[in-house]
Amino acid sequence: MWNKTFAGLIGGIIFIIFTPSAFSLLFYQQIPLMLALTVVLGLSAWAGIMTWCYAAPNGKTAWLRSSYFILGSLAFYGLLFLTVGMPK
């Protein structure tokens, strides 16, 4: 049970940090809008990730489900950081 809880918690935290940060690299004039969308949509997405990981039959499957979001958001942020760079 704790494995599934930690998988959802860590996966949700990484997703809620890196996905809005990646969109902020694209739309750096609308950073306040990105912050507002993070609060509204990001927290709902985090709850969804935690629920989906907690519904896994075992800890290994929960970490596999969480890794989809972790690797996807890190790859998205890394790609945009290397192509767009830091906001000015």
What DSSP assignment string belongs to 56-73? Answer: SSSHHHHHHHHHHHHHHH
- 27 pLDDT tier (thresholds 50, 70, 90): confident
Is 88 part of any domain?
A: no
Is 26 part of any domain?
A: yes
- 15 pLDDT tier (thresholds 50, 70, 90): very high
Question: What local confidence, expressed as pLDDT, does residue 76 receive?
Answer: 94
Return d(Cα 9, Cα 49) in angstroms, integer. Answer: 8
Is 8 part of any domain?
A: yes
Residue span of the structural domain in which 44 resides: 2-83
The domain tally of the chain equals: 1
Structure pTM?
0.84
Single-letter amino acid code for the residue at 27: F
- 88 pLDDT tier (thresholds 50, 70, 90): low
Is 78 part of any domain?
A: yes
Under 8 Å between Cβ of 4 and 56: yes
Is 57 part of any domain?
A: yes
